[in-house]
Amino acid sequence: MKKLLLIATLVLAGTAAGTPAAAHPTRPDLDSVRVWNELTLSAVRVTRAGDADAARLYAMVDAAIFDAVNGLRSGRDHHRPVLVAGTGPRGADPQAAAAGAAHAVLVRADAERAATYDAQLAADLARLGPGTPVTRGAVWGDTVGIAVVDARAGDGSRPVETQTAGAGPGVFRADWSGVQYRNVRPFAVADPARYLPGPPPALTSAAYVQAFDEVKTLGDGAVAAPDLLATYQFWSLPAGSVQPPGEWLRIALTVSAQRRLPLAEQARLTALLTVALADTTIPTVAAKFTYRHWRPTTAIREAGTDGNAATVPDPAWTARAGSVGGTPEYVSGHSAYSRAAATVLAGYFRTDRITFTHATDTAPGGVARTYPGFSAAADEAGRSRIYGGQHFPFSDVAAQTIGRGVATEVLTRLR
């Protein structure tokens, strides 16, 4: 709080002393939701955060922005808060509140880049101009941001836990970390365990054979298929990218700009989206931890051990992605996140048929793709994992069910 007050005092004093009154004849067009989400996306890239950590950070920042802005509204304009239910001071500037809230979260969650966040806040407040409303808004936002950080302290996201490598037919073979997220406290859903799917098809079942053959054909790295490779790469999003949750946040920002949503609605949309994405992490990780299912590369190479005469082994088979995959196969995190996001976006706008153009962090050549709606993009993202030889089709289907269920509950609870 003291740090924020110092920044605000210095900026406002400098503005009042050194800027002619004519420099701010009207309110500047500051887009705090976009500015601070772009900073958050950059933080995820720079820190090479995993998908679960990224989703949690996005949700904290956007919950803080929303609760700060929402706390300045009343009556029909006021919605159920995510984490902070307080009412802000009368006359406080909502753009300043949004910036102050996001700043408070980021300087605590990403302390190494605190100077960058301090500078952005100072610039935002200077752009908004001198006056009590701006100061009140910034201080209120700071209060809300700190409250959000405090509310998520001890949520189970730390310490990091690891599930050790398994052995035998059907079992994932490597250690993988981050399994603590199966027990993380949700932001909004009442009981994440209700979204845990049943087990994958038995290795001896016909359903397994069908899925096995499909990924063996479509995900084979030895078969030249430029279109399938490009689709896989477009949605691959490994460490160093914004991760799948981040791409859907970027899509939301794009559509928000197209629709010219005002600050309060931008804040509400990004909060709904990121909260749903963060809560989708929990049953997704729980499924991976519970079933420890082997990846297609292992399954195809060792098909002679699965007890199913209809699955033909290929010891030389390599996934088009070029890697086995770093977590258990069932379910697909990309698919779960994508369906959760598509469900929130369609629910918020009350239609799925909104055309948008987007280039992901890993789009080949930076070339964008145009989609007729959110579901079309989610479908493609899920199928991309099969094209890359990373997942079986049943893992895509089960994961999309998780995402749809979590998102539907979030939309209902945070009205």
73 burial (CB, 10 Å; 0-12 / 13-18 / 19+) is middle
User: Per-residue pLDDT averaged across 144-163, rounded?
Assistant: 98
pLDDT digits (tens, 9 = 90+) for 31-90: 999 999 999 999 999 999 999 999 999 999 999 999 999 999 988 888 999 999 989 999
Is residue 24 pLDDT above 90, yes or no? no
Banded model confidence at residue 26, pLDDT cuts 50, 70, 90: very low
The second-level CATH assignment, the architecture, of 162-413 is Orthogonal Bundle (1.10)
Rounded to an integer, the average pLDDT of 197-213 is 98
Pairwise CA distance, residues 373 & 376, whole Å? 6
- Sorted by where each begins, the domain ranges of the chain are 2-152, 162-413
Across residues 122-148, what is the average pLDDT?
97
pLDDT digits 0-9 by tens, 360-401: 999 999 999 999 999 999 999 999 999 999 999 999 999 999
User: Is the CB of residue 245 less than 8 Å from the CB of residue 360?
Assistant: no
Q: With 0.85 as the threshold, say if the pTM is over it.
A: yes
Instruction: Indicate the helix (H) or strand (E) that contains 371.
Output: strand 369-371
Judged on CB neighbours under 10 Å (0-12, 13-18, 19+), 376 is middle
Closest CA to 43 of 105, 92, 96, 91: 105
State the Cα–Cα distance between residues 170 and 330, nearest whole angstrom: 11
pLDDT digit string (tens) for 156-191? Answer: 999 999 999 999 999 999 999 999 999 999 999 999
The dotted CATH code for 2-152 is 1.20.144
